[in-house]
Amino acid sequence: MTSASPVEPLPYEAAAVEEALGPGWSELLRSAYRWMILGRTLDAHLETLQREGRVDFLGAAPGHEAVNVAAGLASAREDWVFPGLREQLVALVRGHPLPTYVHHLFADAKDPAVGRNVPGHPTAREVHYVSMSSVIGTQLTQAVGLAYAQKLRAEAAATLVFFGDGATSSNDFHAGLNFAGVFHLPVVFCCVNNQWAISVPVSRQTAAASLASKGAAYGLPGRQVDGTDFVASFRALATALKQARSGEGPVLLEFVLYRMTPRSEIEDVGRYQPADWMTRAARLDPVNRLLSWLQSHGQLTEGERSQWEADAEREVRAAIELAEGTPPPPAESATEDVYASRPYAPPGSGG
């Protein structure tokens, strides 16, 4: 998991981290790093499987791990999550079983969606994780609808909604933030700014000083956060969620980070990204930044790191082997959960 490129260290002394995260900060960081290892290992295997044609669509998330793990650890069981495209790790951290997620990618008989959803767009109702959508921005208006229901029911819960920098140019961004602001809803808007909307840089989308600053137009506080820094990401999310649950209204967080892989498997990023882009990304790799901090502050031994990497490799391989050995959904399941009662079928039609 280590990188040959120099890593920019996290800018904290241990006392500052303890003050930011509170009691149990060491175990929180160790748990976060272990989840990050699992996410990075999973992505590495799935990218290979996709290239080999063994799984279909994949929204790989290298570079997004700090934000995703922070969201999973900072959110409460009662909260709901509306993902964008690269938040699979949030569901896993919240308790969605890894084998179940891999079953979904293979669209087999144990896939919760029984093969009916787009691969790479998991749904995990048991952890309040709504299916991803490939339509840019639509999850924002869906999320505020659920947050409105939470407010009407006086629930002590919040809604997290993730979207990319490109979605800030969508109609749903305006509608979602405006509705949340007007009705003072318990929703945390998480703009994951990996600086490229497919091949369009942020500078070609907006002249605003930051995407976080756009919240002001809707009466929302906005904050820009270093999305490669787990400590900063966790603290920002924990604070925003606490505010949302306590009735203080919505918040817009902009997490600035690097997309360390192409947006999808069919792109040549060399046609639009600067030649040194991946070098910059490696320097701010969230996994290696946290690893470096833990080791330099005596919170993680080399033996533990090696063991955790081996554990992640074993878990991912086992989940893939299980899914590949599972048959596809039976044909008759195509009409299950579709009709309240089975429609009429003419005699002899086989229906």
Question: Which of the residue ranges 86-95, 111-120, 212-221, 282-291 would you say has the lowest mean pLDDT?
Answer: 111-120
pTM, two decimals, is 0.92
**What was the pLDDT predicted at 57?**
82
Structural domain boundaries enclosing 267 = 14-324
Q: What are the tokens at 282?
A: 């490696």
> What average pLDDT score do residues 219-224 get?
97
For the cut 80, the answer to whether the pLDDT of residue 318 exceeds it is yes
Q: What are the tokens at 200?
A: 């369009």
DSSP lists the bridge partners of residue 189 as 161, 252
Model confidence band, residue 234 (pLDDT cutoffs 50, 70, 90) = very high
> What average pLDDT score do residues 201-224 get?
94
- State the alpha helices, DSSP H only, in the chain: 14-21, 25-51, 65-74, 88-93, 98-106, 138-152, 171-183, 230-245, 277-283, 286-296, 302-324
DSSP category for residue 118: P
In a domain, residue 194? The reply is yes
In a domain, residue 340? The reply is no
Domain count across the chain:
1
**For residues 293 and 341, which has the higher predicted lDDT (pLDDT)?**
293
Q: What is the CATH number of the domain that holds 87?
A: 3.40.50.970
In a domain, residue 335? The reply is no
For the cut 70, the answer to whether the pLDDT of residue 346 exceeds it is no
Q: Which residue in this structure is represented by tokens 């391989």?
A: 317
- pLDDT tens digits for range 51-91: 898 988 888 899 999 999 999 999 999 999 999 989 999 99
**What was the pLDDT predicted at 154?**
97
CA distance 57 to 50: 7
**What was the pLDDT predicted at 334?**
83
Model confidence band, residue 3 (pLDDT cutoffs 50, 70, 90) = very low
Question: Which of the residue ranges 197-211, 227-241, 312-326 would you say has the lowest mean pLDDT?
Answer: 197-211
In a domain, residue 115? The reply is yes
> What average pLDDT score do residues 15-41 get?
96
For the cut 50, the answer to whether the pLDDT of residue 93 exceeds it is yes
For the cut 70, the answer to whether the pLDDT of residue 1 exceeds it is no
**What was the pLDDT predicted at 215?**
97
DSSP category for residue 180: H
> What average pLDDT score do residues 125-144 get?
94
**For residues 77 and 343, which has the higher predicted lDDT (pLDDT)?**
77
Torsion angles phi and psi, residue 114, rounded to 5: 50, 40
| Mean model confidence pLDDT for the chain | 92
Question: Which of the residue ranges 73-87, 287-301, 323-337 would you say has the lowest mean pLDDT?
Answer: 323-337
In a domain, residue 349? The reply is no
**What was the pLDDT predicted at 270?**
66
Torsion angles phi and psi, residue 84, rounded to 5: -95, -95
In a domain, residue 156? The reply is yes
For the cut 80, the answer to whether the pLDDT of residue 264 exceeds it is no
- State the alpha helices, DSSP H only, in 211-283: 230-245, 277-283
In a domain, residue 329? The reply is no
Q: Which residue in this structure is represented by tokens 């809803």?
A: 185
Question: Which of the residue ranges 46-50, 69-73, 227-231, 244-248 would you say has the lowest mean pLDDT?
Answer: 46-50
For the cut 50, the answer to whether the pLDDT of residue 38 exceeds it is yes
**What was the pLDDT predicted at 14?**
95
In a domain, residue 263? The reply is yes
Which of 175, 254, 173, 165 has the alpha carbon at shortest distance from 203? 165
**What was the pLDDT predicted at 275?**
82
